Amino acid sequence: MKSQVSSSVPIGEPMKRSPLAAVLVAVASLILPGLGQFINKQLIKGLIWLAIPILLVAVELSTSHWERWIDLQTHKVSLPLPPASPVAPPAGLGVSTGSAAKTSAPVAAHEASKPAESPAVSHSQERRALPPKKIAPQPHTLGAMEKESAASSDADLYGDASSSKAGSGTTTDIYGDVIPAKPKAPKAKPAESPAKAQASESKASTSSSADDLYGPSSTPAKKNTSATASPAPSSSASDLYGSSSSSTAEAGSQTASTGLSATSAAAAQALFIQHYTYPNYAYQQGKPTYVFRDFGGFFTKGLWGLGSLGALVIGDQYSGKKIVLFDQVSDWLTADNSVNLMGNGLIAVIILLIAALLWILGIADAYQSRIEIIKTGKIEPFTKFIQRVWHTLFSYIVSAPAFVAILFFTVIPFVFTFLLAFTDYTYKVHLGQGLVHWVGFHTFTFLALDPAWILIFGQIFAWTVFWALMSSFTVFALGFINAMVVESPLVKGRKIWRAVLILPWALPQLIVLMVFKNVFDTAGLANQLLFATHLMGPVTNFLAAIGLEGHPDQPIFWFTQFYNGNLAKFVVVMVNLWFGAPYHMMMIIGILSAIPKDMYEAAEVDGANGFQRFRSITLPMVLSATVPALIMTFSFNFNNFGAVYFLTGGGPAWNPSQIPDSMKIISSALPGQTDILISWIYKLSFTKGFEQFNVAAVYSIIIFLIVGGFSVFNMVRSKSFSEEGNE
């Protein structure tokens, strides 16, 4: 005992003070993950917990531009101030070239009188000194621009206008900036001597007037660089952050051995030079700025996007520039996509919640470890900690991959759909040109109070419930009958009958549904057989007599006429019966083979007939074992999209006189008479030009509540569930 005490860690506090010491250690872990473990002298555990915030910070910094924001705050990057007079707006803000020509002349003279700036001026600043451009027309559809009758400019994919007027002398690059056009090639001169030609080529190696990927890189270099307002472009090329890099002359000298001229080498290098443009917040002048949007990383921009759903769209003027569809370098110039921002923000929140959970576990571990150290006087080795965690949390550890898959492929999509129900995301919002907004419970209120939507939803919901019940009951009943027949001792060749009856379930459902769709076409096999056998008249009259067909037509319009809605529903149920019965047959055959034979023998000895043995032995034991399968069948058929959509497409359509006027706005997204909720949700989401994403999300939540509530309620009340809970 004395040896243990001597080898233990000195505690320094009496036993009665132990809770306070443990609390202090927990507070230390709350301040910084792993700090409590370091205090407990558990270094490896401390490093593991400390790795959590380090990893989060690394992800944030690697996906952000905070270093550029720091450069702006520390004035390492100088940006021009906006002009005081509104008559002469700054270049690059979409002002007409012709209208600004007169007002820009005094400014140009004033700039020319300034001393030469440092060669390290960024390429973005060079572009700001160029002549302004014409205002681009506003976009109406993604990538398409409104034609301007009196303008001679054409809009590109990003919403910028490129001048096409002859002799304008300017072009527009991908960033929306106006760049002087490349001067025309001079006329052919008499042949020079070899010495002069070599000197001319050497002189051209110091020039950077070649066009890059986004247009001309700059104006031709001047001879007298001491009197220019900006440094000669030939001296440096801007790097990714806007600072100067090595001269294009160096690139030309390196490639001279390959046979390329210096000018060609400079042009080839310019293709790979990408320039970052800093946001100039001075141009906002009281308007809002979005630092997290412009410089934030995965977590900061994700949280900002989830809360705001974006702020800028194509054509907006922001920080001295115009927002475009996509900018691969200066990503703050890219228009906000509300759906992407919502998705990224949701993933960021999930990751932060997981990190917070691990943080809490680290706090609890530090507290418990301190308690054990005070009680025993020993520090738990890391290997023993791993063994203890493995034995106590083994089931959770081996299930972790499944939990991660469920999180990212089930939970996140469900939450994303849930969030869409609280927005105004419809076909009216073109991403990039418009923004989605949070509207709270407005969509729920509208669907609950609008009579037209209530009427259509009530009819579709009633048919969905009827379809789910009928398709579940019929397939189970027919499968039960087939199983009883196949297992009867009176049937010969039972293996052959099993193989034949299981074939419908083994065939690809999609292909068979398309075959049935062609069979019940107006000119399909069903009508052809009825005509060939002279049964068309009797059959169509019978269907009309029992109410399945509205009119005794010849041929029969199975899925096309609105008065044959009941007939189309009957066909859907029958086709699903053909598909689903074999599965239940095989399941019930397995259950029947597990029932002890002596139970039937004892019942027969007691005088029970065949029906009594079925009612008292077979039926209760089969139902007890198949209740979970029945619940799953109902849930599956409630959302059985393929059985309806690929067979009827939701048709036939409703009678036009029965469609409320307020519902006609969604046109092709209207449900058909055989549409169930899930197929109507599909139409609401993916019918081109009539998308109602928020409405579809609301109905998805309703389906989840109905199916989930029904499944849980019946599963808890089932005998198999209660027996499992009593074990």
Q: What is the spatial distance between Cα 71 and Cα 719, in angstroms, rounded to a whole number?
A: 69
- For the record, the structure tokens of 376 come out as 């025993």
Q: Write down the pLDDT at residue 74.
A: 92
Say which residue, 690 or 106, is predicted with more confidence.
690
Lowest mean pLDDT among 237-241, 269-273, 483-487, 686-690: 237-241
What residues pair up with 178 in beta bridges, in sequence order?
172
Q: Write down the pLDDT at residue 196.
A: 44
How many H helices and E strands in the chain? 31, 12
Q: How far is CA 405 from CA 352, 399, 408, in A?
A: 17, 10, 5
User: H-helix or E-strand containing 515?
Assistant: helix 509-519
**Mean pLDDT calculated for residue range 594-600:** 90
Q: Write down the pLDDT at residue 385.
A: 92
Residues contacting residue 321 through CB under 8 Å, at least 6 positions apart: 92, 93, 175, 176, 277, 279, 280, 330, 333
For residues 419 and 701, the answer to whether their CB atoms sit within 8 Å is no
Res. 186: pLDDT tops 50: no
- For the record, the structure tokens of 310 come out as 């974006």
Q: Write down the pLDDT at residue 360.
A: 96
The string of pLDDT tens digits covering residues 487-543 is 888 888 888 888 888 988 888 989 999 999 999 999 999 999 999 999 999 999 999
Is residue 716 very low, low, confident or very high in pLDDT (cuts 50, 70, 90)? confident
* Exposure on the CB side of residue 420, measured as CA atoms within 13 A: 24
* Cβ neighbours around 593 below 10 Å, total: 10
* Cβ neighbours around 499 below 10 Å, total: 11
- What integer best gives the mean pLDDT of the chain? 77
Q: What is the spatial distance between Cα 219 and Cα 180, in angstroms, rounded to a whole number?
A: 7
Q: What is the spatial distance between Cα 704 and Cα 684, in angstroms, rounded to a whole number?
A: 17
> Of 237, 233, 266, 261, which Cα lies nearest the Cα of 249?
266
Res. 717: pLDDT tops 60: yes
The string of pLDDT tens digits covering residues 642-689 is 999 999 999 999 988 888 887 888 888 899 999 999 999 999 999 998
Q: Supply the pTM of this predicted model.
A: 0.69
Is residue 140 very low, low, confident or very high in pLDDT (cuts 50, 70, 90)? very low
Residues in the chain, total: 727
Res. 376: pLDDT tops 90: no
Beta strand 144-145 pairing with 139-141: antiparallel
Q: Which amino acid is at 705?
A: L
For residues 295 and 69, the answer to whether their CB atoms sit within 8 Å is yes
The string of pLDDT tens digits covering residues 566-581 is 999 999 999 999 989 9
Res. 271: pLDDT tops 70: no
Q: What is the spatial distance between Cα 233 and Cα 404, in angstroms, rounded to a whole number?
A: 53
Q: Which amino acid is at 639?
A: N
Q: How far is CA 498 from the centre of its chain?
A: 45
Res. 165: pLDDT tops 70: no
Q: Where are the beta strands (DSSP E) in 367-463?
A: none
> Of 654, 647, 658, 639, which Cα lies nearest the Cα of 704?
639
| Domains, the chain, ordered by start | 2-59+342-411 (no CATH), 442-448+457-522+557-726 (1.10.3720.10)
Residues of the chain with pLDDT > 70, as a percent, come to 70
Question: Of the spans 303-312, 376-385, 706-715, which averages the highest pLDDT?
Answer: 303-312
Residue where the block lists tokens 């019942």: 603
> Of 201, 205, 202, 231, which Cα lies nearest the Cα of 219?
231
Res. 400: pLDDT tops 70: yes
Quickly list DSSP for 661-707.
GGGGGGGGGS--TT--HHHHHHHHHHSTT--BHHHHHHHHHHHHHHH
Q: What is the spatial distance between Cα 33 and Cα 47, in angstroms, rounded to a whole number?
A: 9
Q: What is the spatial distance between Cα 556 and Cα 559, in angstroms, rounded to a whole number?
A: 9
Inter-helix orientation angle 298-308/43-62, to 10°: 60
* Exposure on the CB side of residue 658, measured as CA atoms within 13 A: 12
User: H-helix or E-strand containing 245?
Assistant: strand 244-245
Res. 247: pLDDT tops 70: no
* Exposure on the CB side of residue 460, measured as CA atoms within 13 A: 25
Q: Which amino acid is at 414?
A: F
User: H-helix or E-strand containing 593?
Assistant: helix 565-594
Q: Which amino acid is at 611?
A: F
Is residue 227 very low, low, confident or very high in pLDDT (cuts 50, 70, 90)? very low
Quickly list DSSP for 632-670.
HHHHHHHT-HHHHHTTTTTPSPPPGGGS-GGGGGGGGGS
Say which residue, 430 or 204, is predicted with more confidence.
430
The string of pLDDT tens digits covering residues 524-537 is 999 999 999 999 99
Q: What is the spatial distance between Cα 239 and Cα 154, in angstroms, rounded to a whole number?
A: 30
Q: What is the spatial distance between Cα 151 and Cα 149, in angstroms, rounded to a whole number?
A: 6
